[in-house]
Amino acid sequence: MKKFHFLLSPQRFPYLLLILLLVFISGCEKEPVNSIDDPTLDLRSAVDGKTEKLNEFFGPAQHLGLGVVRSTVRMNRDGTPESIGVRLSEKVLERLPEHPVILTLTLPNKAAGLAFDHIDLDWNPQGHEPQGLFTVPHFDVHFYTVSEEYKMSITDLEKAANYPEAEYIPEGYQHPPDFLPVQLVPYMGVHWTHETEAPPFTHTFIYGSYDGSFIFMEPMVTVDYLVNEADGTPFPIAQPEKHALEGYYYPTTYSMDYDSKRKEYIIEMAGMVWYD
């Protein structure tokens, strides 16, 4: 009986190349974007030894790398917010762009009680200023309390130099030194850091202001920390005496975690407290 060796058969060689090409393409294929906006999932978390039912709501997903990112809000059974954040699928970290990217994420429809309008997820492959501190690959997550339209009008140096009054400044936070020019980042604002900020940078928390008000809260986290150390540990967020927007819940902690079931990284703010 005549035997055929697939790898040596000239007639079969093109088919082998086709199969290998299909395998390669499937391995690099972008994760599909779920077209369903704001689905509800039943999650469970332990609170004071009891099990409390939470509902999680999502905003529309967007592509980044080979994966997708989306906003998320978790609500308690009584309708009060538990957390707000972003979910990044595991594939996001595959083939991240070599250039900076900013994605504006719409919040879920069910985000009542929170002061936030939208989220900007910034990917910084080389980091950003100050040199030697934040110049490593990392994500910035801006939770804005102002509209996208207002954000895109942030260009005025005089308004940037109009800092919030003392009662609105979170404890221990400081604006850029007075001996430097006003450090306005156009379409963002002035970034305030904590007085204890020092290298090495793994994760931190920033406040942003413009024209006399704080307009965003911002967890920052390196890719290395997200992949190798994120375990859901809550870190405190310094609080002001008052918030400019009253009658909302504001977060008091931020955390980074990995959801092994969904294969997603989570950057979120929680520990909600009501401010009249």
Position 42 scores a pLDDT of 32
Q: Is 40 helix (H, G, I), strand (E, B) or coil?
A: strand
pTM metric for this prediction? 0.83
The residue among 120, 83, 106 whose CA lies nearest residue 232 is 83
Q: Identify the pLDDT of residue 272.
A: 97
Cα–Cα distance, 236 to 233 (Å, whole number): 10
Which pair of structure tokens corresponds to residue 258?
């990995």
Instruction: Return the closest-CA partner of residue 144 out of 130, 135, 154.
Output: 154
pLDDT value of residue 128: 87
Q: What is the pLDDT of residue 131?
A: 80
Task: Answer yes or no: are the C-beta atoms of 214 and 208 closer than 8 Å.
Answer: yes
Residue 24: predicted pLDDT? 41
Domain map (residue ranges) of the chain: 41-275
Predicted pLDDT at 34: 55
What pLDDT is recorded for position 41? 36
pLDDT at 133: 84
Give the pLDDT score at 32: 62
pLDDT averaged over 10-residue windows placed end to end, the chain, 276 residues: 36 39 47 46 36 83 97 94 97 95 94 93 90 91 98 97 97 88 91 94 97 98 97 98 95 98 98 94
Close Cβ partners of 234 (under 8 Å, ≥ 6 residues apart): 253, 254, 255, 270, 271
**DSSP assignment letter at 160:** H
